[in-house]
Structure 1
Amino acid sequence: MNMKITTSLRFAAAAAALLIAGAAQAQTVLKFSHTDNPGGSRDQAAAVFAEKVTEYTEGRYEVRIFPAGQLGNDPKAIEQMQLGGVDFTVSATGSYASYLPSLNLTAMPFLVDSYEQGWEFYDNSGWMQGEFAKLPEVGFRVLSTWEAGFRSFTTTFPLNAPADAAGKKMRVFPNDMIRWTMEAIGFQTVVMPVTDVYLAIQQGTVDGQENPVDTILSLKFTEVAPYLTLTRHVYSPLPLTVAEKTWQSFSDVDKDAITRAAADSSAFSRELVKSSEAAQLEQMAAEGATIITPDVGPFRDAVASVYDQARGVYGTEVDKVLAEVETIRTAMPAQ
């Protein structure tokens, strides 16, 4: 081969390599931590979010997903957002109450009766949006809200009424409202990360846990606590949050792109969780779980004291929340 041609080819190859290297350097990797298992609804929504971020930023950003608590449990991931180790996470609203205690109020029992009521509260409630607006001051920002569903129980014993809870130990995450609700029903409470719960039930450290159906299936809780009691006692969606330091590093164009990706992933998550619940219950029943649909009235009566307990800590904020959800429930009756 002619020496001039060979040299030209070498220069072209070197230039191409430099371009590829430059493109790789230009793409910023962002870390997304969550505690769902691979293939669970949160993991699927995270994949949608990651894909859309890359698409909408024209490849300037890659969102790298770390499922199953690889980078830490929910409280640790939120802490890491403040410290710079994690860029995105998704967790129950109450998980952020350590930084903004009023968010505990979103876990008051039996606030809403349907997904649609819950979406209206999270997307358009003046109180809810006002609380979210305070989070950047403590290190993170809500981009959108994903779905997890309504919390119900899985236990090692049949739970048909609050009387069955006497003397039993229930796992809770660090949230006063959830703890008060469990204690009002009659449980002893044990705080632990969700990533430790399966083994804790298996070893008898606790007698059950409460989570949305989607989470119960993903984390296989009915394998060790086969009684699933559909109380639907707390609506438990999942704010998708970004570290405020990360957010402030984005250009306005990229902020818009990431906000669009967050909205897309929210719509995906909500439709997936709502439409999957019946099939998920059928699957767990087929695998050996006992599905209990109790009379919810006694559970509602048992937790009535929680509202007064909340007023003792949060004052008039409690009635602001109750008034807003009552307006929503009146305008959007559950089907």
Structure 2
Amino acid sequence: MLKKLTIAFAASAAALLAATTSGMAQSKLKWAHVYETSEPFHTASVWAAGEINKRTNGRYQIDVYPASQLGKETDINQGLSLGSVDMIISGSSFAAKSYPPIGVTYYPYTFRDADHLLAYTKSDVFKELAKGYEDKSGHHILAVTYYGVRHTSSNKPIKSCTDMKGLKIRVPDVPAYLAMPRACGANTAPIAFAEVYLALQNGTVEAQENPLTTIEAKKFYEVQKHVVLTGHIVDHLNTVVSGALWKKLSEEDRKIFTDVAQEAAAKATAEIKTNEAKLVDFFKQKGLTVTEVNKDEFRDTVLKTTSFESFDYRKSDWDRIQAVK
């Protein structure tokens, strides 16, 4: 009798182990973002999903949902907590809704260039801000991808901050994005992104701001005469994993997710930097005037008129970022 019970117990244990292993093999995750399938953020995410599957011996199958298929950026950020998504790519401006200090990177002229941004992501101040976000939201930032430097396009020539006075410009309805145009006296309009081309075409607004790669991808150059290299925000995106998933991952799997996400971010960053470098000549060939400006004048105007506290940022964090080499 004892022998039969032992055999039965062993069989049950084996069946449970097999079921658990099978369940792990079938772990399906959702990775969401708002970018188009042609963009580096998507292609790098698809590569990362396959690589995680490979390095975990098939225990995680990750499906990537691009182009707002699972909702707009606000929706997918909420989805991390609701359990509707497991991983996202999103800007720190959205992370700042949970933990405002991490949004300091959107204060105009925080970063000198892409390399300064990338150095920041390896710094103690980044680690502290990322931890603050994790403590507040529960979610974990795996990697940071360079998004591009935001510049201004316009139908009116702009050579200085004062030239923007009265300019009708479309800017996303995010306080830090509004800071530079408003400091220079522009009239900002929060037109939906999908409607910007038409608004520029029909004169509802005469200018907008975005990275050069976006100005090219969305064909804004067709309805604008000038590209002004204001370089007011060096933008980036975070790869974020939900707190629920992060807690479940073993230390070994956490390392795999982190390593792969950072490799994917490096791939996308390199591609974006390469694409960006070609675009000044592209716009000139399309007949646009490309203008360099004195960024110090723009930055000084913003610093004089726009307090860090108005965004719930800490100037001490900004000062530390300035010191990063």
Whether TM exceeds 0.5 here: the answer is yes
In the alignment, structure 1 residue 324 sits paired with structure 2 residue 323: no
Tell me, yes or no, if the aligned pair for 1:93 and 1:236 is still in contact at 8 Å.
no
- 1:241–1:203 distance in 2 versus 1, CA, 3 Å: farther
- 1:160–1:246 distance in 2 versus 1, CA, 3 Å: same
- Supply the distance in 1 between the matched residues of 2:41 and 2:266 (Cα, whole angstroms): 12
- 1:206–1:32 distance in 2 versus 1, CA, 3 Å: farther
- 1:194–1:53 distance in 2 versus 1, CA, 3 Å: farther
- Supply the distance in 1 between the matched residues of 2:41 and 2:279 (Cα, whole angstroms): 15
- Supply the distance in 2 between the matched residues of 1:196 and 1:83 (Cα, whole angstroms): 30
Tell me, yes or no, if the aligned pair for 1:104 and 1:175 is still in contact at 8 Å.
no
TM-score (norm 2): 0.82
Deviation at 1:313, TM superposition (A): 5.7
- 1:248–1:200 distance in 2 versus 1, CA, 3 Å: farther
Alignment: residue pair count: 305
- 1:28–1:197 distance in 2 versus 1, CA, 3 Å: farther
What letter matches 2:31 in structure 1? F
Deviation at 1:223, TM superposition (A): 3.2
Tell me, yes or no, if the aligned pair for 2:230 and 2:293 is still in contact at 8 Å.
yes
Instruction: List per-residue Cα deviations over 1:112-146 (Å, max 9, x = no partner).
Output: 2222221111221x222111112233242211101
What letter matches 1:322 in structure 2? W
Q: Which runs of 5+ in 2 are unaligned?
A: 1-17
- Supply the distance in 1 between the matched residues of 2:192 and 2:101 (Cα, whole angstroms): 21
What letter matches 1:154 in structure 2? S
Q: 2:82 aligns to what?
A: 83
Tell me, yes or no, if the aligned pair for 2:140 and 2:243 is still in contact at 8 Å.
yes
Q: 1:128 aligns to what?
A: 126
Deviation at 1:306, TM superposition (A): 4.4
Tell me, yes or no, if the aligned pair for 1:36 and 1:215 is still in contact at 8 Å.
no
SS in 2 for 1:147: strand
- Supply the distance in 1 between the matched residues of 2:186 and 2:151 (Cα, whole angstroms): 14
Deviation at 1:199, TM superposition (A): 4.3
Q: 2:187 aligns to what?
A: 188
Tell me, yes or no, if the aligned pair for 1:41 and 1:214 is still in contact at 8 Å.
no
What letter matches 2:30 in structure 1? K
SS in 1 for 2:147: coil
SS in 2 for 1:237: strand
Q: 2:243 aligns to what?
A: 244
- Supply the distance in 2 between the matched residues of 1:115 and 1:313 (Cα, whole angstroms): 23
Q: 2:158 aligns to what?
A: 159
- Supply the distance in 2 between the matched residues of 1:164 and 1:223 (Cα, whole angstroms): 22
- Supply the distance in 2 between the matched residues of 1:202 and 1:245 (Cα, whole angstroms): 45
Tell me, yes or no, if the aligned pair for 2:169 and 2:186 is still in contact at 8 Å.
yes
Which contiguous aligned blocks of 4+ residues in structure 1 show a shift greater than 6 angstroms? 22-25
Deviation at 1:254, TM superposition (A): 2.3
Q: 1:11 aligns to what?
A: none
- Supply the distance in 1 between the matched residues of 2:250 and 2:202 (Cα, whole angstroms): 50
Deviation at 1:153, TM superposition (A): 1.2
Instruction: List per-residue Cα deviations over 1:286-327 (Å, max 9, x = no partner).
Output: 3454422223343233222245x2145647x20x22331332
What letter matches 1:286 in structure 2? Q
What letter matches 2:41 in structure 1? R
SS in 1 for 2:228: strand
What letter matches 1:32 in structure 2? W
SS in 1 for 2:126: helix
Q: 2:308 aligns to what?
A: 310
- Supply the distance in 1 between the matched residues of 2:95 and 2:55 (Cα, whole angstroms): 28
Aligned runs of 1:1-335 on 2, under 5 Å? 26-124=25-123, 126-136=124-134, 137-191=136-190, 194-306=193-305, 309-311=307-309, 314=312, 317-318=314-315, 320-328=316-324, 332=325
What letter matches 2:125 in structure 1? W
- Supply the distance in 2 between the matched residues of 1:266 and 1:129 (Cα, whole angstroms): 17
What letter matches 1:327 in structure 2? A
Tell me, yes or no, if the aligned pair for 1:36 and 1:219 is still in contact at 8 Å.
no
- 1:41–1:223 distance in 2 versus 1, CA, 3 Å: farther
Q: 1:9 aligns to what?
A: none
Deviation at 1:265, TM superposition (A): 0.9
TM-score (norm 1): 0.80
SS in 2 for 1:304: helix
SS in 1 for 2:181: helix
Tell me, yes or no, if the aligned pair for 1:35 and 1:195 is still in contact at 8 Å.
no
- 1:38–1:323 distance in 2 versus 1, CA, 3 Å: same
Name whichever of 94-103 and 217-226 sits farther off: 217-226
- Supply the distance in 1 between the matched residues of 2:204 and 2:294 (Cα, whole angstroms): 28
RMSD: 2.7
- Supply the distance in 1 between the matched residues of 2:192 and 2:264 (Cα, whole angstroms): 25
Tell me, yes or no, if the aligned pair for 1:201 and 1:224 is still in contact at 8 Å.
yes
- 1:286–1:64 distance in 2 versus 1, CA, 3 Å: farther
